[in-house]
Amino acid sequence: MITIEQAGRLRKAGVLWAPTAGDRFVVPDRDMDDDVFVVSDMTVEVHDYQGSKVIGFNGTTEWALDSIEQREVIWLPREEQLRALLGEHFQSLESVPGGYRVSLSESSHTADDAEQAYAQAVIHLLGA
């Protein structure tokens, strides 16, 4: 999984998120940074509310958060979503000692985790 720091850099670089079922996100700065949530048709749904996206938590009694605006959460894209962001620049993903390497037409990026290597490549591509 990519780091919250990487996800924040992707967001600042302008990567847009259209939430769909299966997407992961975190709620930062509310003592919940370590909790990863998943958009699901049953428990975490996305609603349009007065022109903005609101993420609703259904059936949550553990803590007082019924919904939160999309702009207040940080999306943690999955491997295939990051690869799609690379588009035609993507060349290959390979296992290397100590992790994975994502090769682009003009550079390569290595990390412990494949998703982190993809995130590094996207961040590089966007110049962030």
**What mean pLDDT is predicted for residues 47-68?**
68
Hey, what are 109's tokens? 């990026």
Residues 14-53 have pLDDT tens digits of 999 988 888 999 988 888 778 898 887 666 677 777 788 8
The structural domain count of the chain equals 1
The answer to whether residues 62 and 86 touch, using CB atoms and an 8 Å cutoff, is no
Domain with 67, as residue range(s), is 4-127
Hey, what are 16's tokens? 């847009």
88-96 long-range contacts, CB within 8 A, separation 24+: 89/121, 89/125, 90/121, 93/117, 93/118
Q: How far apart are CA 107 and CA 90, in angstroms?
A: 10
